[in-house]
């Protein structure tokens, strides 16, 4: 992979990882337009590995919250009094909420890296998931804040995050929509989406880096991979700050029109034979 391609893919990853537009879908589309084989193990691994940069940005951005949660978890393990704190509950919510996508990712790995790596899947899911996002905003009451999030909520939102293993759905779109349907306010749902993404995407990226190292070396190269990670970190950090401000005053529907247009554009390119499905 050329360095300029790695920079472009890093920008795409950083911009889309936290927006409800599907980073995997956009990376797959961009890789296809660059002439890369999206079904190649090295390219598939690269798509997961450069997410580490964006997740590192989230860790640094939310470092104070993360430290609080970790300390709250330690105190909760050590004493019954510690288990009464909000930080203990949030730490437990993140841990439990991260389990569904971990299990689903391992069980469905052959499917995710095989049949689902299709441009038709990406295009259709970009459009189809808009119905869920619109419904979630329509039904949202936003009466519950961060302190009201329960373990049951975390499991449901974590299960929704698993659906985002299908390219085109969007991890943030799935988790924020689930949070809204549970009556959680949009900013809290967005923050929870970030927190749930940190362990899930870090684990996925590191697993692919280790297990597919030979394929990455043969097809992408580690220099290009490092550049992609670095660029996604820089762009991702700016995206986090922007999104948190945006969702405070705007609904997810703002992203629906873009998703529909992007999905239709991909369908048009596929129908015209400009690009192939795999």
Q: Is residue 277 part of a domain?
A: no
The two three-digit tokens of residue 139, written as one number: 């039904």
Q: Which residues pair with 184 in a beta bridge?
A: 144
What count of other Cβ atoms lies within 10 Å of the Cβ of residue 109?
Answer: 14
What residues contact residue 82 under an 8 Å CB cut-off, 6+ apart? 72, 74, 75, 76, 88
- Range of 160's domain? 3-271
Asked whether 86 and 68 are in contact (CB, 8 A), the reply is no
Nearest in space to 232 (alpha carbons), one of 36, 8, 44:
8
pLDDT by residue (tens digit) across 100-139? 988 887 887 778 777 787 889 989 999 999 999 999 999 9
User: How many structural domains compose the chain?
Assistant: 1
Asked whether 179 and 120 are in contact (CB, 8 A), the reply is no
What count of other Cβ atoms lies within 10 Å of the Cβ of residue 62?
Answer: 17
The two three-digit tokens of residue 125, written as one number: 């899911």
Return per-residue pLDDT of the chain as tens, 278 residues. Answer: 889 999 999 999 998 988 888 888 888 889 888 888 877 888 888 888 888 899 999 999 999 999 999 999 999 888 888 888 889 999 999 999 989 988 887 887 778 777 787 889 989 999 999 999 999 999 989 899 988 999 999 999 999 999 988 888 988 899 999 999 999 999 899 989 889 988 888 888 888 787 878 888 888 888 999 999 999 999 999 998 888 888 778 888 889 999 999 999 999 989 988 888 77
Q: What is the pLDDT of residue 134?
A: 93
Q: What is the pLDDT of residue 46?
A: 85
pLDDT by residue (tens digit) across 131-148? 999 999 999 898 999 889
Q: Is residue 260 part of a domain?
A: yes
Q: Is residue 221 part of a domain?
A: yes
Q: What is the pLDDT of residue 241?
A: 86
Q: Is residue 276 part of a domain?
A: no
Q: Is residue 278 part of a domain?
A: no
Q: Is residue 176 part of a domain?
A: yes
Q: Is residue 105 part of a domain?
A: yes
Q: What is the pLDDT of residue 177?
A: 93
Q: What is the pLDDT of residue 259?
A: 93
Q: What is the pLDDT of residue 116?
A: 80
What residues contact residue 119 under an 8 Å CB cut-off, 6+ apart? 28, 29, 32, 38, 266, 270, 275, 276, 277, 278
Q: Is residue 39 part of a domain?
A: yes
* Rounded (to 5) percent helix, strand, coil in the chain: 80, 0, 20
């Amino acid at each position: 992979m050329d360095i300029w391609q790695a920079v472009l893919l890093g920008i795409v990853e950083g911009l889309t990882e936290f927006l409800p537009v599907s980073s995997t879908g956009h990376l797959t589309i961009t890789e296809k337009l660059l002439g890369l084989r999206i079904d190649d193990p090295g390219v598939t691994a690269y798509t997961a590995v450069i997410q580490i940069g964006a997740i590192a940005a989230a860790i640094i951005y939310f470092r104070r919250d993360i430290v609080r949660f970790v300390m709250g978890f330690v105190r909760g393990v050590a004493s019954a009094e510690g288990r009464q704190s909000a930080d203990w509950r949030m730490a437990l919510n993140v841990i439990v909420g991260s389990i569904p996508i971990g299990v689903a990712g391992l069980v469905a790995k052959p499917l995710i890296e095989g049949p689902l790596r299709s441009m038709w899947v990406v295009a259709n899911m970009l459009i189809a998931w808009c119905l869920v996002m619109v419904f979630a905003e329509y039904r949202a009451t936003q009466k519950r804040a961060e302190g009201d999030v329960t373990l049951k909520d975390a499991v449901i939102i974590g299960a929704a995050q698993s659906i985002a293993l299908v390219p085109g759905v969007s991890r943030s779109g799935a988790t924020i929509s689930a949070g809204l349907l549970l009556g959680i306010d949009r900013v809290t749902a967005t923050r929870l989406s970030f927190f749930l993404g940190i362990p899930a995407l870090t684990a996925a990226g590191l697993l692919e880096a280790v297990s597919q190292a030979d394929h990455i070396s043969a097809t992408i190269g580690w220099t290009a991979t490092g550049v992609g990670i670095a660029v996604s970190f820089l762009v991702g950090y700016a995206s986090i700050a922007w999104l948190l401000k945006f969702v405070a005053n705007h609904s997810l529907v703002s992203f629906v029109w873009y998703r529909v247009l992007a999905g239709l554009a991909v369908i048009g390119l596929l129908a015209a034979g400009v690009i192939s499905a795999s």
